[in-house]
Amino acid sequence: MTTAPDAAGEASAMLIDEVGSLAARVVGNVETVIAGKREAITAALTVVLAEGHLLIEDVPGVGKTMLAKALARSLGSSISRIQFTPDLLPSDVTGVSVFDQASRRFEFKRGPVFANIVIGDEINRASPKTQAALLECMEERQVTADGTTYLLELPFTVIATQNPVEMEGTYPLPEAQRDRFMARVSMGYPASADELAMLSTRETSSPLDRLEQVVEVEQLRRMIAAVQHVFTSQPVKEYAVELARATRDDRQLRLGASPRATLQLIRAAKAHAAMHGRDFVLPDDVDALAVPVLAHRLVPTSRAVGTHDRDSGPLIDAIVRRIVADTPVPVGSARRN
Amino acid sequence: MHPDQATLSSGQRLALSAASFLLMATSIMALGPLIAGSGWWWLCAFVAAGVLFGGAGLRALRVRGGLVPVLEAVLLLMLLTLLFGASTSLLLLIPMPDTFALFGELITGAQRTIAQQSVPAVTVPALSFALALGVGVLSILLDVLVQVARRPAFAAVPVIVPLLIPGFIVESGIGLPIVVVVAASYLLLLRVDVRVNRRARIEQRRDDGIATVTAPLRVPVASTLGASLGVAAVGILAASMLAVSTPSISTSLLLGTGSQSTLFARGVSPFIDLGRDLRRPEARPAFRYLARDGDRPYFTLLTLDRFEGDVWSVADRPVDGDNTVDELGSPAGLGPDVATSEHPIDVLVNEVRTTWLPVPYPSTRIDGLQGSWFWDDESLTVRSADTNTAGQRYEVTRLAVEPTVEQLRSAGAAAAAAQVDARYLELPEEMPEIIGTTAANLAAGTGSSYDTAVAIQAYLRSPDFDYSTEAPVDGGYDGGGFEVIASFLEQKQGYCVHFASTMAVLAREAGIPSRISIGYTSGTPTTDRVDGVQRVQVDSHDLHAWPELYFSGVGWVPFEPTPGRGSVPEYSRPGAGQSPTSVLPTGPASTAVPTGRPDLDPDRGLAGQAGDPLSNSAPMQAGVLLLGVVLLLSIPAIVRALQRAGRRRRIIRGGAPADAAWQEFAATAIDLGIGVPAGTPRAVASAVAARPAFHEAEARAAMLRLRDAVERSRFGPDGAGRSDLEARAGLLRDLGAVRRAMLRDVTARDRAAATLLPRSLVERVARVPGVRAGGGA
C-alpha cells in the first residue's frame, strides 16, 4: 500500500505509513498467539487506535482474554484485569480512599481501572452498580473519588468480555450501556487446523510469555494522534449518516443506531484507514466496520426475532449487512478542482 | 432487471410504454411510400397500442415481469383474431383451428402479394395481416427491451426494421423528416427512461421514510443526456447518408433498372419494372438473336395468369425438376390439325439479368444453356433455379402456330372454359361498370369468341386510343388493376400494360380465357449480318406486355391491342377470314409496326438528364452502400473511441484525471466481458484482480495505483489528488498497462466484440451510484 507524498504535511504522511506498518506488525504478533482470528484482532486494534472500548462476546474458552492480553503486551501498555463477580463493588474497580496513619490524611488507592488496557472479564456478572462505575470511567476517562478527580492515563481502552449463553445470575448490559462500547466482536471457534496447532504450541508453556512488545506506549500515542488527523470527506460522512438513518427506519429494528454510534463509526473508520496506511477514509472502511460498530447497539423487533432463537446476534448482523448493501455508495467528492 | 435500475411504479411504466408506442407509431410511418392510403397506419398503430398498453396494463395488475411478453403475444393473437379472423373465432377473440388455417392462408397470400404487388401496394387483407403481425411482434420486442431488459437504448433495433425496408424497395427511400421524427421519438424514450429511473430511485427511498440525501443520489443527467445526444447524432447522420444514397442503391442493385439490367428480380410487380424500363431515356441492350429463316417472333419472359382486381400476378407453381429444357412440353390445347412450323433461333443475351429466359411461345427445345433451367407446365415459360440470363448463348427452336380463321372461329367458348384452369376466367365480383358495358358493347353482334376478341383488339387499336408512357406515370397508374383499367377506358391513354390488361379483362368478361405475357417484341435489325441474315438487337425499349387468349383446338393465341407496338398477328386482323391478304386495320399508330419503336416520351431529354448520372455508377453506388453499412455498424465503435479520447483528454488536462482514468478502466473491463460489480473502486478492483490478467505483478500494481488515485481523488483530503504532469502521465501509463493486460487475458473474439459492440456504452457502472454487488474493503 503506497500513498503519494502529501502537500498537506510531510510529517503526518510519514506517520500514516508508519501507522500502517506498525499496525500490521501488531496484528501479526498477536496472531502468533491466537491463530486464525485476524478479523477480531484487527477490530480490537482498530478500537484501541480509535480510543474506543471493545466488547468481546462469546462462549468461554475461545481466547477472549488471551486476545486482550496479547494485544496489551504487543502494545507495550500497562494492563490490568478485573474478574467481575456479583459481589464486586464499584470501589473494587475505581479505587478506594484509605486513611494513612502516618500522614493522617486519606490517601487514594488507585483501582485496576488505572491502566492503558483494562480487561473486564465477564462484565455481565457484576451488579449494575459496579457496571455503571466502570462505564462511567469508560465515558469520562476519569475517576472521581471523595471530591477529587483523577484523570486516567491515555491511551485507555476497556476490553470487556461477556458470555451470551450463560444467563443465570447475570446482569446483561442494558442497551444504553452497550452503546458505550465502540465495537463488539465475536471470536468464534478456531478452525480445526488452528486448534490442532494450538494444542502443540501450548502443551508446555503459555505463549504469552514469549510474546514480544512491538510498540512503545509513546509510539501508540503518536499512532492515535495520527488517526485523529485522518481526513473524512463529506460524501463519506453523509454515507455514515445515511447508514445510521437506515437502521433507525428499518422495519426489522426496534432500536436504531444513536448519533454516538455514527460518531464512533467514523472514528473507527479513520483508525481502519490509518491501519491500511491511508490518510483519508473510504466508504469501504465504513462498510468493513458497520457490523462490529453498529450491530450490538441495535434491537430487533420481536417479530423479526420470532423466527430466530434467543440469540439475535446473527440476525442483527444480517440486517446490518443488508442495510449496508442497500445503501448507495457515494460517488465521491462533489468538489472538482 | 438490471441491478442499477430501481423498481418502477405502474405510472412510470406507463410513461415508458407511451414513449415506446410513440416510437413504434412514428417508425411505421416510414413504410408510407410502400403502401397506398393511410388506413394501414391506423391499423398498425392500433395493434402497437394494443400490445404496448396491454403490457402496461398487465404490469399494473402486478403480473410478473417475465410473463408479460408471453401474455402480450397472446394479446396480439387475440387482436389479430378480432381484426382478421372474427368469423372463424369463438366470441370474436378466441382463435379456433379454422382461424389458424385462415392465418396460414393470409400469410401465404401476403408472401404472394409482397412478391407481386407494385409500390405503393394496395392493402389487401393479406398485406394488412402481415403488417399487423409484424408490427405486433416488433412491439413485443420493443416492450421486452424497454420494460423487461430495461435497455431502452436497444429500442433502436426493432425500430430500424421499418426504417430500412423502404430504402430497399422504392427509389426515393424514406424522407428525411421521418428519420428526424423517429430519432426524436427515440431520444424522447431515452429521456423518459432516465427521468423515470431517477424519480423512481428517489421515490423508492421516500417510501421507506428515509430523508433523501441528494448528493450521492445525483444522477449525472448531463452526461447521460450528452451520451444519448451523441449516439443519436451519429445515428441520424448515418441514417441521412443512407437515406440520401438509397435511390441509387435501389435503382441499380436491388431493382435492377440500372446498368446491370436486372429484370423482375425483386418481386415488385413486373408491370412496374416494365413501365420504368419503357420510360428509360436510353435503351439498354437486352439480347441479340439470329433467325436464319428471317423469323421475328415475340420473346416471352413470364406469363401473368392470376387477376385479383388490383394486381396481375403469376400463380404460384413449384418448379418441376423433370421439366428440363432439352425437350419442352407441348403447348396446351394445340390441336393436330393446326399448321405448325419449326424455326431455330440463336440467342445471345448480353446484359439483361433475370431468372426468366426470353423464349418465343411456344418452343420445343432449347440447347446450350448454362445452369439449371426448367419450363413451366402451363405457360412453357423457362426459369432458372440457380443462375440468370446474363451472358447466356442458346439455340431455341420455336414452334410457329399458324391457325386459320376458321379454326379459331369454330372454337366454342364452353369448350375453352372446360379445358383451362378456372383462374384464366376469374374476375373479382365487384368491378367498375365501364368494363362490363364496354365488354357487352364489343361482344354484341359477334358470332364467336374469336370475333369478340378481334373486336376488342380493333377497338383498342382504334384512333381513339393513344399510346403514351408519360400520362399515366403519377398516381400509381403503373399497373393493371381495375381502377387503372377503368380510368384507362375513360382517358384512352396508356401503354402496353394498360392495353394488354384491358384486353385480357374484357376477354374474360366475354368468356374467353386470357392471360398476359410479358417479354420483348421482335426487336430492331442491325447492320451486322451472318450468312446474309441480319442479326436482330432487342433492347429495353422492346419490353412489352400482350394478351394471350385461349381457343379450344388451337391453344393460347397472342393478340396485339397496343397501337404502335409490335406486330399484329395475321389471324387477328378484322376481316382476316374474308381476305387473308389485307393489311393492318385502320389507325395512324399501326403504321409504326415495322420497327415497333413508338415515340416514347416527349420529355425524354429532360428525363435523360435526371437519369444519366446514375447510369454508369454502379460500383460507386455499391461503395456508398458498403460505406453506409460499415458506418452504421461502426457507430458503437466510433462512439466508444470518442469517449476514450475524451477521457484521455481529461486525464491529460481535465479536473479529475484519476476519475477519468478509472472510468476508462472500468469501461474497458466491461467491454471485454470482465465482470465489474457496481460499487466502490475498491470493490471493483478486488473483483477484477481475481482475473488471470492481474496475476502478473506489474499489471496488478498498475491497477492498484489507478484505484488508489481514484480513491484519493474522490475521498482524499486534497480532492483531485496529485494532478501535476508527472501524475497524469503515470495515470496514462498505468491505464495502458492495465488495458494491455486485460486484452491479453481475453480471446480474439472478445476483443473484436469489445471493439465493435462495446458493452460499456449501455452498462454504466463506474459513475452511476448503484447498489453494490458486494461491499467490504
User: What gap in Å lies between CA B274 and CA B544, rounded to an integer?
Assistant: 7
- Listed in sequence order, the DSSP H helices in B492-546 are 496-509
Collect all residues of chain A within an 8 Å Cβ-Cβ radius of residue B719.
333, 335-337
CB nearest to B680's CB, from A231, A246, A282: A282
Residue B612: helix, strand or coil by DSSP?
helix
- Backbone angle region of B493, left / alpha / beta, with phi > 0 → left and psi within -120 to 50 → alpha: beta
- B321 contacts chain A (CB < 8 A): no
Residue B503: helix, strand or coil by DSSP?
helix
Q: What is the pLDDT of residue B774?
A: 37
CB nearest to A282's CB, from B209, B715, B720: B715
Kindly report each contact of residues A317-322 with a partner whose C-beta sits within 8 Å and lies 24 or more positions away, as own/partner: A317/A291, A319/A250, A319/A252, A319/A253, A320/A247, A320/A290, A320/A291, A320/A294, A320/A295, A321/A290, A321/A291, A321/B775
Are B215 and A325 a contacting pair at CB < 8 A?
no
- B717 contacts chain A (CB < 8 A): yes
> Per residue in A233-282, pLDDT tens?
888 888 889 888 888 888 878 888 888 889 989 999 999 988 888 888 88
Most A CBs within 10 Å, among B214, B705, B715, B768, to test the A interface:
B715
B648's grid cell: 484521455
Are the beta carbons of A227 and A271 closer than 8 angstroms? yes
Integer CA distances (angstroms), B697 to B137, B292, B688, B701, B703, in order = 52, 87, 14, 6, 10
User: What gap in Å lies between CA B126 and CA B111, rounded to an integer?
Assistant: 8
User: What gap in Å lies between CA A31 and CA A41, rounded to an integer?
Assistant: 8
> Per residue in A177-228, pLDDT tens?
788 888 888 887 878 887 887 777 766 667 777 788 888 888 888 888 888 8
Higher pLDDT, A63 or B577: A63
CB nearest to B715's CB, from A2, A235, A287: A235
Are the beta carbons of B137 and B162 closer than 8 angstroms? no
B246's grid cell: 438509397
- Listed in sequence order, the DSSP H helices in B461-536 are 482-491, 496-509
DSSP annotation string for A10-25: HHHHHHHHHHHHHHHH
Beta bridge partners of A197: none
How many domains is chain A partitioned into structurally? 1
B649's grid cell: 483528454
Domain hosting A252: range is 10-326
Cis preceding-peptide flag for B580 (omega within 30 of 0)? no
Collect all residues of chain A within an 8 Å Cβ-Cβ radius of residue B656.
336
- B89 contacts chain A (CB < 8 A): no
Closest approach of B753 to chain A, Cα-based (Å):
29
> Closest chain A residue to B206 measured between Cα atoms?
A249
B-contacting residues in A 40-79 (Cβ below 8 Å): none
What DSSP element (H or E) covers A81? strand A79-83
Q: Is residue A199 part of a domain?
A: yes
Integer CA distances (angstroms), B24 to A73, A327, B79, B170, B704, in order = 74, 37, 17, 21, 47
Are A337 and B722 a contacting pair at CB < 8 A?
no
User: What gap in Å lies between CA A78 and CA A72, rounded to an integer?
Assistant: 7
> Per residue in A156-170, pLDDT tens?
888 888 877 666 667
Neighbours of B529 (CB within 10 A): 11
A-contacting residues in B 463-502 (Cβ below 8 Å): none
| Residues 6+ away with beta carbon under 8 Å from A214 | A22, A25, A26, A29, A74, A75, A76
Most B CBs within 10 Å, among A280, A317, A324, to test the B interface:
A280
| Residues 6+ away with beta carbon under 8 Å from B57 | none
> Closest chain B residue to A246 measured between Cα atoms?
B210
Collect all residues of chain B within an 8 Å Cβ-Cβ radius of residue A239.
216
Q: Is residue A337 part of a domain?
A: no
Q: Is residue A180 part of a domain?
A: yes
Q: Is residue A4 part of a domain?
A: no
Neighbours of A229 (CB within 10 A): 17
Question: A311 pLDDT band (50/70/90 cuts)?
Answer: low
CB nearest to A279's CB, from B213, B217, B717: B717
Are A328 and B215 a contacting pair at CB < 8 A?
no
Are B656 and A336 a contacting pair at CB < 8 A?
yes
A172's grid cell: 446483561
Angle at B203 between CA B197 and CA B209, to 5 degrees: 150
Q: Is residue A5 part of a domain?
A: no
Q: What is the pLDDT of residue B155?
A: 81
- Give the dihedral sign, CA B547/B550/B555/B559: negative
DSSP B330: P
Counting one residue from A and one from B, how many pairs have CB atoms under 8 Å apart? 114
Nearest one of B481, B34, B479, B2 to B246, comparing CA atoms? B34
Q: Is residue A302 part of a domain?
A: yes
Q: Tell me the pairing of strands B285-291 and B533-539.
A: antiparallel
Are B777 and A284 a contacting pair at CB < 8 A?
yes
Neighbours of A34 (CB within 10 A): 23
Cis preceding-peptide flag for B362 (omega within 30 of 0)? yes
| Residues 6+ away with beta carbon under 8 Å from B657 | B650, B651, B709, B713, B720, B723, B727, B728, B731
User: What gap in Å lies between CA B115 and CA B268, rounded to an integer?
Assistant: 6
Q: Tell me the pairing of strands B543-551 and B555-558.
A: antiparallel
Q: Which residue has the cell 465515558?
A: A139
Residue B272: helix, strand or coil by DSSP?
helix
Are B659 and A287 a contacting pair at CB < 8 A?
no
Q: What is the pLDDT of residue A20?
A: 85
B-contacting residues in A 244-303 (Cβ below 8 Å): 245-246, 249, 272, 276, 278-285, 287-288
Are the beta carbons of B642 and B687 closer than 8 angstroms? no
DSSP annotation string for B408-436: HHH--HHHHHHHS-GGGT---S---HHHH
User: What gap in Å lies between CA A282 and CA B775, rounded to an integer?
Assistant: 12
Q: Tell me the pairing of strands A117-121 and A79-83.
A: parallel
Query: Nearest 5°: phi and psi at A119?
Result: -100, 115
Q: Is residue A334 part of a domain?
A: no
Collect all residues of chain B within an 8 Å Cβ-Cβ radius of residue A233.
714-717
CB nearest to A8's CB, from B210, B211, B717: B717
Closest approach of A77 to chain B, Cα-based (Å):
29
Q: What is the CATH number of the domain that holds A16?
A: 3.40.50.300
Q: Tell me the pairing of strands B285-291 and B339-349.
A: antiparallel
A-contacting residues in B 601-660 (Cβ below 8 Å): 655-656, 659
Are the beta carbons of A242 and A287 closer than 8 angstroms? no
Cα A163 from chain centroid?
A: 16
Mean pLDDT of the region A99-128: 84
Q: Tell me the pairing of strands A157-162 and A54-57.
A: parallel
For chain B, residues with pLDDT lower than 70 are 1-7, 113, 115-120, 122, 167-174, 200-282, 316-319, 321, 385-387, 470-480, 574-621, 678, 718-723, 763-777
Integer CA distances (angstroms), A195 to A32, A35, A57, A186, B588, in order = 13, 8, 20, 17, 118
| Residues 6+ away with beta carbon under 8 Å from A182 | A47, A50, A52, A53, A54, A264, A267, A268, A293
- Quick one: what percent of chain A has pLDDT higher than 70? 88
| Residues 6+ away with beta carbon under 8 Å from B115 | B267, B313
Cα B568 from chain centroid?
A: 38
Closest approach of A292 to chain B, Cα-based (Å):
13
Are the beta carbons of A261 and A150 closer than 8 angstroms? no
Neighbours of A98 (CB within 10 A): 10
Amino acid making up residue A189: Y
Are the beta carbons of B290 and B536 closer than 8 angstroms? yes
Q: Is residue A89 part of a domain?
A: yes
Predicted ipTM? 0.77
Neighbours of B646 (CB within 10 A): 15
Residue B304: helix, strand or coil by DSSP?
strand
Are A330 and B769 a contacting pair at CB < 8 A?
yes
Are A288 and B680 a contacting pair at CB < 8 A?
no
B535's grid cell: 442479326
- Quick one: what percent of chain A has pLDDT higher than 90? 1
